[in-house]
DNA sequence: CATCAATAGTTGACAATATCAACTATATGC
DNA sequence: GCATATAGTTGATATTGTCAACTATTGATG
């Protein structure tokens, strides 16, 4: 059965499996900072010194504008994010991180971007090969 | 900046990026079948002809038993899943797929396990290398 | 056998997330 | 100036998830 499975199928399933093995604890990690996974995602998308309009955030999150209102309400109430009116268009609210938000973002991202130990245990050749392949996949 | 990033870090970030590129549409895919991502996950975990107790499902989902009650209630109300009392322990409810659940599961998994086109565009060597590396990562 | 502690699943309260519809203020096009 | 489109908000609703409390059942112990 497994011998007849195509390589792309096999690779994809292994990749999915690996990813979920590593990601199973994202909610736990997020809750360390009293954040939900979605809130971590939002903090990631709002870059320091790069305000983003609410609508752009909704696009990036691929969700409804009203949902973003709630997400931002809660982060704003925690002093992590600020709404700012846009100078160009009075309908638009721009979102920026507060200094506290910048600090928390940095801490959270440091944790989230930490590679799994298993990646460090690959040989240098394997690591290089993996990076090369992944770059090609993203082209 | 990028030149000083460790290979494991680089690989992890590329991998995460690739994964989310492919997975951004899981909610959309699930909604084609009028399922939520969580419900898809449940259907995946309940294998045909392999009843699983509620508690085992909660473990596999890494969530609270009461949450599983709700998830199964809704799938049961759609005729996709059945609760069955266990012969060994009267506290235990075993979950099995209905014939309709089996069919839907098969359809959904076929879609979910379909590898991205980009994987098929790698060379045979690259695919083999990727599979080999992923297997090592999962050891 | 009786008692007590542990367990499986359910109920209920609550918060967060997400969709959809309707709304108001604002911008754009004619 | 008017009609249409747009940004964000409000509100209703469903789903998911945690936590606490509960009932029925099981297992361990004396």
Near-strand D residues (CB closer than 7 A) = A 27, 53-55, 58, 65-66, 68-70, 72-73, 83, 89, 91-94; B 36, 38-39, 61-64, 66-67, 70-71, 74, 89-91
Instruction: Give whole-number Cα distances, A124 to A127, A129, B16, B83, B99, in Å.
Output: 5, 9, 20, 50, 49
Report the CATH number of the B2-137 domain.
1.10.10.10
Average pLDDT value for residue range A1-23: 80
CA dist., res. B106 & res. B6, Å (int): 41
- pLDDT, tens digit (0-9, with 9 covering 90-100), for A96-112: 999 999 999 999 999 88
Please say whether the beta carbons of B38 and B72 come within 8 A: no
Pick the CATH number of A31-114 from 1.10.10.10, 3.50.50.60, 1.10.40.30, 1.20.1250.20: 1.10.10.10
CB pairs under 8 A between A and B: 116
**How do the pLDDT tens digits run along chain B, 139 residues long?**
455 678 899 999 899 888 877 776 777 888 889 999 999 999 999 999 999 999 999 999 999 999 999 999 999 999 999 999 998 999 999 999 999 999 999 999 998 888 888 999 999 999 999 999 999 999 8
Comparing every residue's Cα with the C1' atom of nucleotide C27, the nearest one is A89
Question: Which among B8, B16, B138 is the nearest to A120, CB-wise?
Answer: B8
CA–CA distances in Å: residue B17 to residues A35, B23, B24, B126: 21, 10, 10, 19
Segment B86-95 long-range contacts (CB within 8 Å, at least 24 positions apart):
B86/B53, B92/B53, B92/B54, B92/B55, B93/B53, B93/B54, B94/B51, B94/B52, B94/B53, B94/B54, B95/B46, B95/B51, B95/B52, B95/B53, B95/B54, B95/B57
CB contact under 8 A, A122 and B130: no
d(CA B33, CA B31): 5
Nearest CA-CA distance, residue B40 and chain A, Å: 15
Q: What is the ipTM of this complex?
A: 0.83
B27-51 pLDDT, tens digit per residue, is 788 888 999 999 999 999 999 999 9
Which residue's CA shows the smallest distance to C1' of C16?
Answer: A36
| Residue among A85, A130, A22, A134 nearest B132 (CA) | A130
């Amino acid at each position: 059965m497994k011998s007849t499975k195509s390589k792309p199928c096999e690779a994809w399933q292994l990749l999915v499996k690996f990813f979920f093995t590593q990601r199973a604890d994202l909610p736990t990690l997020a809750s360390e900072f009293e954040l939900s996974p979605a809130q971590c995602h939002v903090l990631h998308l709002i870059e320091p010194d790069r305000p983003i309009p609410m609508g752009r955030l909704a696009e990036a999150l691929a969700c409804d504008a009203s949902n973003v209102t709630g997400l931002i309400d809660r982060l704003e109430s925690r002093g992590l994010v600020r709404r700012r009116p846009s100078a160009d268009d009075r309908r638009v609210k721009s979102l920026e991180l507060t200094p506290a938000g910048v600090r928390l973002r940095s801490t959270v991202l440091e944790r989230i971007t930490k590679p799994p130990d298993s990646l460090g245990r690959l040989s240098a050749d394997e690591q290089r090969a993996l990076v090369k392949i992944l770059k090609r996949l993203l082209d």
